[in-house]
Structure 1
Amino acid sequence: MKYQEWRNHAFDFLSVFPFQSLMMALSNSSWRLPQASFFLVGIPGLEESQHWIALPLGILYLLALVGNVTILIIICMDPSLHQPMYFFLAMLAAIDLVLATSTAPKALAVLLDNAHEIGYTVCLIQMFFIHAFSSMESGVLVAMALDRYVAICYPLQHSTILHPGVIGRIGMTVFVRGILLLVPFPILLQNLIFCQVMVIGHTYCEHMAVVKLSCSETTVNRTYGLAVALLVIGLDVMAIAISYAHILRAVLKVPGGEARLKAFSTCGSHVCVILVFYVPGLFSFLTHRFGHHVPHHVHVLLATLYLLVPPVLNPLVYGVKTQQIRQRVLRLFCTKNLI
């Protein structure tokens, strides 16, 4: 596996993708903006405790930054880790950095400094990044399931099937899907009319929280939002389930309990990451859609933690359960201490 070849595939794609056009579309002054800004409440009902709540959120954000940057540095600097599983882990770490940074700084500013105002266009951009990169994280988890399937079911052809070109194309597909599916969110919102005070009872610009402020017809926005959630989560969970069904069938054919245990252990980290991402997300989604009797501050706390907890736990899970990562982390920090 050549890291340089994989990186070139990714950079070639990024160089032709119209980021500038996307940002211009999101901030185009020709949009009929109803007002200049939104007001982020923070955590409704817990205003007096918000400074204390900000403390653990700030710690989570710092842990996410340190953990994911460490993972990226280790994978980039160590040639022995230039393998499919670690390339996908690097993608996951990069996405987690974007997710945490899209959410935490503004949330902390609201909770600590009462910086409640957020520009309309900035709000739309934040919304786009949060939802698009959440979709990308789900896609990377599917890619990691595919990697485990190939590694266990076709071990001799693993490096041939998942060569750098294929990994680069998988990464591009995940990235493009996230962009294309979520671009309509801000585009559809610009057609809405806001007749009331633009106060969002949240720590960040969540899609449905903004849609609910409109006094115009929002059926299209709600339907598309639900369709995207079901499409992304539904298809991705199905793909992961199919991959693990094949893995389970292959492992059960392996003679000897020790060999089976070793095969299952190679999937342990990935299964933990899947649970960390999907279970809180599903719980947050269900309480938001159907939990009408759940206090609103619980919705907000769940939604905020959903975007911060996975970026914190993912590096820890792989650091603890993956021997190669654990050894490199210890070597990195022990070397620094000796210096």
Structure 2
Amino acid sequence: MENIKAAIEAHLDDLTKPRGSLGKLETYCVKMAEIQGRVPPKLEKKGIYVFAGDHGIAAEGVSLYPQEVSRQMVLNILAGGAGINALAGGTGWDVTLVDAGVIGEDFPPDNEIKPVCSFVRARIGSGCRNSFKEDALAPEETERALARGKALAQDAADRGLDMTAIGDLGIGNTSTAAAMLVAAGFNIDDMVDRGTGIDDAMLKHKLQVIQGAVKSRNPPKDGRSILQKLGSFDFAMMAGFILGLEGKGIACVLDGFPVSAAAYMAYMINPKVRDWLFAGHLSKVAGHKPLLEHMGLDPIVNLDMRLGEGTGAVIGGHIVELGVRAAREMASFSQGRVSDSEKAEKKY
């Protein structure tokens, strides 16, 4: 790894520009080279997996939106009308929608819509249980969901993807994310905010529900147990996807708060996952910043976004791609076209 780091830094320093002048684009390029084990890295194929699932805790009235919105938004993505469709199309990402447990046994009916993007039926159940009242998943369901996430990581490798991203979709998922992180040791006041714009009374209720769920379930501080007792099918699949990328030479860009919470569960299981993760953006959701800081991930952009679906991830990943393109396409001083500086440059 040190040899790769030294080689990519030497490559970047030989490009026809002042040393270090591309700033963080060079930092991202170095990380891509380390992930891929090649100099310069390449980024020819990018794919985002949007994990959709329903959350039993939504029954406690923690969101302004009814639970059927999850299904409606899945259909919107499959029809090509969602934010992620627009932004992924504009930045060159292939979209795969994963049904990781949306409510409804036959979802969506094959004759209901003709998807414009890839669609994977990975459901294990029709929404997880209400963690305020009982464990969200059974232990065997948790393991199956982790395994299905890992299988999708293998799918990414089979497709020849150089970079992946993860998006989320599901009413109640910020409450699930907050509950998991509070159980992991984060302060509840830092992890819970207004989400979709709830008022003071609803915020107080949301805090009480999350606190009650964590107290009732009381999982040990390990990623698998927290996913089982307080998580969901989609969160476990996202965590499994991240874990499954180990050794595959594929980068993964995280979206906002729910995706990053799932990544934190993967991080608790295997801290090495940080080596192939990028934080696509800093969400406007309050808990996202301390969560990323704890994992040592620096968000690529901060655009005050909080849509989800992977929208921030595809923007951040596109910026990483620009750094890789510079490393691959710029001329070098050693090619003799431009004179290098006569004195050693100081990097800032």
Which range, TM-score by smaller chain? under 0.3
Does 1 or 2 have the higher relative contact order (CA < 8 Å, sep 6+)? 1
Alignment TM-score, normalising by the size of structure 1: 0.27
Greater helix share, 1 or 2? 1
Greater strand share, 1 or 2? 2
